[in-house]
Amino acid sequence: MWLRFPGLRSLELRLGLRVAPQRRQQQQLFLLKRKFSKGMEEEAKKKAGYMAVDNHVQNNQALGIGSGSTIVYAVDRIAKRVQDENLKIVCVPTSFQARQLILQHQLTLSDLDRHPELDVAIDGADEVDCDLNLIKGGGGCLTQEKIVAGCAKRFIVVADYRKDSKSLGEKWKKGVPIEVIPMAYVPVTKAIAAKFGGEAELRMAISKAGPVVTDNGNFILDWKFNNVSDWRKLNVGIKMIPGVVETGLFIGMAERVYFGLEDGSVCFRDRDSQ
């Protein structure tokens, strides 16, 4: 049996009238700050992407097109320059998303069968350290991204100010993505923990039941690591584990990284200047 207490609702209403306006103001301020911060991040991505395209894309080139939110702006700029300057270029995608971007912007779609050697590959990053080593694969496209980057004479990265770190793991807390053959994900998980410490977790999907499945039909482990002194040696060690397809560690591959900054400017760092 339910009991009613006279006056309880009116008391809640009275308290609500006092608390709600302040709470609403706090919520509105939080949303305003988040919207402003998001706007700054997107503007930073846009400017970095535009500068990378303007500095590295030329006529009669074969381009590798990366994946992720930053690359959307780079492809926008490529399409505008193709239209304005009548550039003759072909684009090789690193993912289904990149392929759709190329087609939506009516750029010439190609592949590594027809263009195994690329002039430039442009891609984003989840984190960049002081030596221009990268963590990539937050979007699950690490294997194709690394293949395309490896086929390019020049690998150019675009990012916003949040991705710039002194050491990998300083800002990116989701771990190193590792693509694995589905039947091997449990043995690989155990092997990584035993050999290198830390913890590798199977990445689960958000809008579907079960794990994330890559464009290649594989699973992804996210390895949350401890202190690492030699990224190159570690990367080779992980790849030697049977069942590992590729890692999201891009070691010594990026030639230049463009960072869109909070103040609206863009800076870049070259690997040779390290």
**Catalytic residue list:** 145
Q: Quick one: which of 160, 204, 215 has its CA closest to 50?
A: 160
Distance CA 162, CA 239 (A): 28
Please name the residues in contact with 184: beta carbons below 8 A apart, sequence gap of 6 or more.
Answer: 242, 243, 244
Residue with the two structure tokens 């690997």: 271
Distance CA 77, CA 238 (A): 37
Distance CA 64, CA 156 (A): 10
User: Which segments of 163-209 does DSSP mark as H helices, in order?
Assistant: 185-196
Distance CA 52, CA 251 (A): 20
Name the helix (H) or strand (E) containing 37.
Answer: helix 8-56
Please name the residues in contact with 213: beta carbons below 8 A apart, sequence gap of 6 or more.
Answer: 205, 219
